[in-house]
Amino acid sequence: MSVVGFTGMLLTLQFFLIFIFSMQYSRRHTFRAFWLIHLSYPIYFILMLLHGAGRMIQAPYTYYFVLGPFILFAIDQLISVSRRKIEIPVVSAKILPSGKLIKFNILINSCVLLIDIIISLSVCYVSGG
C-alpha cells in the first residue's frame, strides 16, 4: 500500500469520527470523546500534507490549498490565546431543590444551581458569549 492510500484511509477514518462525534447525540452523551476527537486536528493537518505530498499522478499542489486555511487557523488560535482570561473566585455553590419538570409527558428531575462569585466592576457579562 502506498503512502497516499494509507493516509487517505486514515483521513477518511478521522473525518468520519469527527463527523460522528459532532452530532448532537454524541456531544450530549459522550462529550469527552467528542472533545478528544476534535483535539486531534493537528493529526488531520499532518495526514493531509502527507497525503498531498505523494506524487502518484502529478507534482504535489497540496500546499497551495492548505496554506491559506492553515494561516487563517493559526491567526484564529493566536487571537484565542491572546484574549485576556479573568479568574473569578467561587465563594459558594449550592444545589437548590426545584421539583420536577414535565416535558412531553415525561417526568424529568431538574435542579437549580446557586453560585456566589466575586467579580470586579470592570467585567462586562454578555449572555452566551
Residues across the chain:
129
pLDDT tens for the 129 residues of the chain, in order: 788 889 999 999 999 999 999 898 888 888 888 889 988 888 888 888 888 777 767 777 777 777 888 899 889 888 887 776 767 777 887 776 665 554 444 445 556 677 787 777 776 766 654
Q: Is residue 18 part of a domain?
A: yes
Q: Is residue 28 part of a domain?
A: yes
Q: Is residue 51 part of a domain?
A: yes
The x, y and z cell numbers of residue 72, run together, are 487563517
Q: Is residue 128 part of a domain?
A: no
Q: Are 36 and 17 in contact (CB under 8 A)?
A: no
Q: Are 123 and 86 in contact (CB under 8 A)?
A: yes
Q: Which one-letter DSSP state was computed for residue 23?
A: S
Q: Is residue 39 part of a domain?
A: yes
Share of the chain above pLDDT 90, in %: 12
Query: Which SS3 state, helix, strand or coil, does residue 129 take?
Result: coil
Tally the domains of the chain: 1
The x, y and z cell numbers of residue 68, run together, are 491559506
- Is the CA virtual torsion 97, 99, 103, 105 positive or negative? positive
Parent domain of 71? 3-82
C-alpha angle 18-21-27 in degrees, rounded to nearest 5: 140
Q: Are 54 and 62 in contact (CB under 8 A)?
A: no
- pLDDT computed for residue 16 by the predictor: 93
Q: What's the predicted TM-score (pTM) here? A: 0.55
Q: Is residue 88 part of a domain?
A: no
